[in-house]
């Protein structure tokens, strides 16, 4: 059992201990679990974060030289970095989805892909993907210790923080694995993000911009655009979402001219020649994903042309902006878009009569897209249960919400308040028992609960007719919401009941009674919930919340079922038959 790191500076682990303020001592560790504990020791604690908040912008410029220093200390040089064919993507929203589309397309073109993203949902290995799959624990572990031992040895005074370490680790993995392309998603901002030590990206992308992370990036769209544009490098093509505030586009164009880069906006997805393929058929839902898909298409084509020495594609001028030209899609392009899978984004999980709809939206714009997706998906799930719609009145809809950081939760809740929920549950991102991969030292439980109280207070003002409830732990919240519906034995087992209690029909009743006891008499179960023919749960507001739900309900998020594999193969067969001679980029 792990001792609470917020009350003690020591992690107690069987047979050894790790002191949070010093590197691992007296024992060389080798296992994956030990690696994750060591990795978590690189998180900043609560008091350090609060002390440094006011200094963030002032100290941001030191981030890149620190990253380079740690890179060289870890055993890599900038010359080694130049051997890697990098693609770099920044943006406020959609950068992860754009990278996922891009990775899927290039993998369909036969390239060995590396993909670095953040945050992870269930396990830290998700941050470093090889050929679309999280790096295995067996590969992750030796790579981890080879870098950790160099940077965090017993005599090291300064150690890299968590995100910087994972960035450096990704560089090592992609270098040693000799990937054909390394796709890097920016963490926060761009100019001073530690991923920006990439010296010569072949292609860059900038997705939709908005107001976010204001404590680090500034309060205006111009300031934020400057940070995002900071990834552009001399001679590198940068593809930009055209649906930006004019002030943001002006900053991007100005910065491109200053550094000697080319910044082109992308065409609409309708403008591409889809041939016989189903037009705009994507693995991810929503209008914003159509723009992300267009960025990914342009980046993939430019990357393949740059890697093969082909000519740069043509553009047309639209006012002050160069517009990249659409082109005929190959089988690989269309399949890459169709089969793209990005967990936690517009994702549906079905457990008999309980349906989880998961979307990590955490900005105003992405929450609008989430709302549109829920309005589309909710009736689909009703029809799946009862095509006649006779049981529509017996569907119980729950909003499960949490928001972290400096995201504008008021705007997100206002958007969600227009949906027809029967109940709202606010909870933290923490479960009563949590995997080591998702332990968080960066906030206290008191802070998280206070955040929930703010969420509830705002909701009650906006929509007093829809009852709301705070349930501190996520697993308890899921048990209370589902109220013995669905095949959810995992929830009971996750929360500490013995396996013998998880078997048979009484498993959820046992856990539910425990949760009701914790909540007291002030949280009676709505009669409509217990009698519902289907329970729909929209979980949104934070990727960390989505990760918590997946950790409990579906921890093997990278594994496809046999049915899913068959469906994917059927799609591939269909597209190959439709494609005819449309194979590979050749024009």
pLDDT attached to residue 482: 82
Alpha-carbon span 43 to 441, nearest angstrom: 6
Alpha-carbon span 393 to 175, nearest angstrom: 56
Alpha-carbon span 197 to 165, nearest angstrom: 13
Q: Is the pLDDT of residue 29 over 60?
A: no
Owner of token pair 């393949």: 304
H-helix segments, 93-220: 95-108, 137-151, 162-176, 214-217
- Find out whether 500 is annotated in a ligand binding site: no
Nearest to 472 by CA among 548, 562, 575: 548
- Find out whether 359 is annotated in a ligand binding site: yes
Q: Any idea where the domains of the chain sit in the sequence?
A: 11-338, 347-553
Nearest to 395 by CA among 537, 530, 533, 487: 533
In DSSP terms, 424 is beta-bridged to 399, 468
Q: Give tens-digit pLDDT for 387-411.
A: 666 556 789 999 999 998 766 889 9
Alpha-carbon span 398 to 248, nearest angstrom: 37
Alpha-carbon span 452 to 446, nearest angstrom: 10
Radius of gyration over every alpha carbon of the chain, rounded to an integer in angstroms:
24
Where does residue 16 rank: exposed (0-12), middle (13-18), buried (19+ CB within 10 A)? middle
Alpha-carbon span 393 to 506, nearest angstrom: 28
CATH superfamily of this structure's domain 347-553:
Mur ligase, C-terminal domain (3.90.190.20)
Query: Per mean pLDDT, which range of 118-122, 325-329, 369-373, 381-385 is the poorest?
Result: 381-385
- Find out whether 417 is annotated in a ligand binding site: no
**Summary count for the chain: helices (H), strands (E):** 23, 18
pLDDT attached to residue 558: 67
Q: Are 285 and 376 in contact (CB under 8 A)?
A: yes
H-helix segments, 206-338: 214-217, 221-229, 246-259, 287-308, 331-338
- Backbone dihedral angles phi then psi of residue 575, each to the nearest 5 degrees: -70, -35
Per-residue pLDDT, averaged over 228-256, amounts to 94
Alpha-carbon span 301 to 312, nearest angstrom: 9
In DSSP terms, 205 is beta-bridged to 89, 239
**Token representation of residue 233:** 């490098």
Between the two ends of the chain, the Cα-to-Cα distance in Å is 59
pTM for this entry: 0.85
| Spatial CB neighbours of 375, under 8 Å, sequence gap ≥ 6 | 419
Query: Per mean pLDDT, which range of 41-45, 225-229, 440-444 is the poorest?
Result: 440-444
Q: Is the pLDDT of residue 520 over 50?
A: yes
In DSSP terms, 184 is beta-bridged to 88, 116
- Find out whether 465 is annotated in a ligand binding site: no
Nearest to 42 by CA among 571, 442, 482, 488: 442
**Token representation of residue 509:** 């009743």
Q: Is the pLDDT of residue 46 over 60?
A: no
- Find out whether 544 is annotated in a ligand binding site: no
Q: Give tens-digit pLDDT for 253-307.
A: 999 999 999 999 999 999 999 999 999 999 998 888 999 999 999 999 999 998 8
**Token representation of residue 385:** 């249960």
* DSSP reduced 3-state for 263: strand
Residue % of the chain over a pLDDT of 90:
57
Q: Is the pLDDT of residue 351 over 90?
A: no
Alpha-carbon span 418 to 497, nearest angstrom: 38
DSSP class of residue 211?
A: S
Alpha-carbon span 267 to 324, nearest angstrom: 6
Q: Are 70 and 77 in contact (CB under 8 A)?
A: no
Q: How many CA atoms lie within 13 A of 296 on its CB side?
A: 34
Alpha-carbon span 465 to 448, nearest angstrom: 25
Instruction: Give the number of other CB atoms < 10 A from CB of residue 215.
Output: 13
Q: Give tens-digit pLDDT for 133-173.
A: 999 999 999 999 999 999 998 777 899 999 999 999 999 99
Nearest to 62 by CA among 141, 151, 160: 160
Fold of 11-338: 3.40.1190
Q: What is the pLDDT confidence band of residue 213, given thresholds at 50, 70 and 90? A: low
Cis, bond preceding 44 (omega within 30 deg of 0): no
Distance of CA 239 to the CA centre of its chain: 21
Helix or strand run (H / E) with residue 470: strand 468-470
Q: Which is more confidently placed, 534 or 502?
A: 534
């Amino acid at each position: 059992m792990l001792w609470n790191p917020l009350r003690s500076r020591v992690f107690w682990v069987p047979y050894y201990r790790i002191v949070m303020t010093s590197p691992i001592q007296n024992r060389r560790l080798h296992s994956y679990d030990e690696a994750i504990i060591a990795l978590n020791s690189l998180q900043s604690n609560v008091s350090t974060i609060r002390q440094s908040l006011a200094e963030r912008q002032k100290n941001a410029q030191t981030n890149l030289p620190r990253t380079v220093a740690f890179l060289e200390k870890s055993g890599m040089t900038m010359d080694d970095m130049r051997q890697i064919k990098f693609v770099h993507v920044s943006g406020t929203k959609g950068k992860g989805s754009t990278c996922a589309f891009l990775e899927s397309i290039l993998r369909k073109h036969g390239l060995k892909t590396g993909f670095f993203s953040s945050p992870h949902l269930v396990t830290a290995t998700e941050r470093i993907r090889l050929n679309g799959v999280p790096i295995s624990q067996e590969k992750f572990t030796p790579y981890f210790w080879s870098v950790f031992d160099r940077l965090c040895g017993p005599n090291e005074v300064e150690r890299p923080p968590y995100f910087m370490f994972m960035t450096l680790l990704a560089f090592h993995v992609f270098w040693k694995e000799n990937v054909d392309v390394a796709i890097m998603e920016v963490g926060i901002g761009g100019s001073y993000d530690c991923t920006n030590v990439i010296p010569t990206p072949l292609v860059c992308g900038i997705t939709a911009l908005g107001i976010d992370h204001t404590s680090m990036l500034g309060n205006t769209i111009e300031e934020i655009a400057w940070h995002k544009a900071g990834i552009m490098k001399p001679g590198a093509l940068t593809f930009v979402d055209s649906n930006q505030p004019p002030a943001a586009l002006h900053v991007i164009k100005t910065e491109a001219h200053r550094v000697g880069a080319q910044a082109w906006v992308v065409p609409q997805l309708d403008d591409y020649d889809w041939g016989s393929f189903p037009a705009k058929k994507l693995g991810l839902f929503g209008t914003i994903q159509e723009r992300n898909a267009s960025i990914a298409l342009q980046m993939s084509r430019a990357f393949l042309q740059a890697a093969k020495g082909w000519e740069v594609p043509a553009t047309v001028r639209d006012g002050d902006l160069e517009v990249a030209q659409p082109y005929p899609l190959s089988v690989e392009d269309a399949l890459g878009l169709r089969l793209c899978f990005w967990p936690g984004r517009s994702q549906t999980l079905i457990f008999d009569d309980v349906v989880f709809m998961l979307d990590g939206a955490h900005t105003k714009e992405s929450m609008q897209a989430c709302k549109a997706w829920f309005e589309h998906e909710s009736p689909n799930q009703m029809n799946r249960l009862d095509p006649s719609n006779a049981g529509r009145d017996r569907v119980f809809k729950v909003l499960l919400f949490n928001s972290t950081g400096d995201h504008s939760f008021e705007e997100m809740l206002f958007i969600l308040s227009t949906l027809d929920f029967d109940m709202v549950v606010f909870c933290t991102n923490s479960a009563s028992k949590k995997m080591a991969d998702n332990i968080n030292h960066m906030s206290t439980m008191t802070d998280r609960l206070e955040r929930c109280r703010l969420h509830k207070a705002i909701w009650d003002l906006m929509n007093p007719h829809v009852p709301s409830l705070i349930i501190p732990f996520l697993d308890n919240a899921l048990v209370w919401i589902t109220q013995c519906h669905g095949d959810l034995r995992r929830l009971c087992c996750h929360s500490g009941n013995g396996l013998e209690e998880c078997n048979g029909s009484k498993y959820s009743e046992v856990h539910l009674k425990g949760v009701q006891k914790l909540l007291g008499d002030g949280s009676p179960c709505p009669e409509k919930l217990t009698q519902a023919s289907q329970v729909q749960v929209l979980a949104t507001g934070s990727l960390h919340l989505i990760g918590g739900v997946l950790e409990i309900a579906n921890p093997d998020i990278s594994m496809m079922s046999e049915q899913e594999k068959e469906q994917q193969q059927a799609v591939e067969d269909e597209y190959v038959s439709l494609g005819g001679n449309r194979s590979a980029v050749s024009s």
